[in-house]
Amino acid sequence: MSSGQEASVYGMIGEEGFDRLTTAFYRQVPADDLLGPMYPADDLSAARERLRDFLIYRFGGPQHYIEQRGHPRLRGRHAPFAVTPAARDRWLKLMRAAIAEADLPGEAVAIMDPFFEHSADFLVNRPG
């Protein structure tokens, strides 16, 4: 995917689409036996907002994430968590379920899914 294609996603789904996506994702997290323990229950709302703002920035929307948090530094921010291949696979499973629930246009999903897969692979920091 070109960065131009990725930047077009915000135009397709807007902030409301990213809200639906991240809400659907974080609705699944507390009950998940693998990912749930990685997220403090009292920080789920803030975690959802951070992910939403990051995705909006990454896919062509306003730069609020960068303005508030600086460079994403994804590997560094995820280093304290045991991101194993199993955690990666579970994250992708929950994100894909969230994409389906959010009912995003197929063209946007076709651009976002490879990004999610690549990012999840990139964040693995512990062996299985």
What does the pLDDT look like over 59-85, one tens digit per residue? 999 998 888 876 666 656 666 778 999
Domain span holding position 77: 3-123
Predicted local distance difference test score (pLDDT) of residue 75:
56
Predicted local distance difference test score (pLDDT) of residue 82:
82
**74 is a domain residue:** yes
Instruction: Give the count of domains, the chain.
Output: 1
What does the pLDDT look like over 89-125, one tens digit per residue? 999 999 999 999 999 999 999 999 999 999 999 999 9
Predicted local distance difference test score (pLDDT) of residue 78:
60
Predicted local distance difference test score (pLDDT) of residue 104:
97
Rounded to two decimals, the pTM is 0.89
Q: How far is CA 46 from CA 16, 22, 36, 49, 127, in A?
A: 17, 11, 15, 5, 28
25: pLDDT strictly greater than 60:
yes
Max avg pLDDT among 15-29, 32-46, 73-87: 15-29
Judge contact between 10 and 60, C-beta under 8 A.
yes
**21 is a domain residue:** yes
Identify the CATH number of the domain in which residue 56 sits: 1.10.490.10
**128 is a domain residue:** no
Average pLDDT over residues 50-58: 95
Compute the mean pLDDT over every residue in the chain, rounded to the nearest whole number.
91
Amino acid at position 95, single letter: M
Phi/psi at 38 (5° precision): -80, -15
**8 is a domain residue:** yes
Quick one: angle between helices 106-123 and 3-28, nearest 10? 80
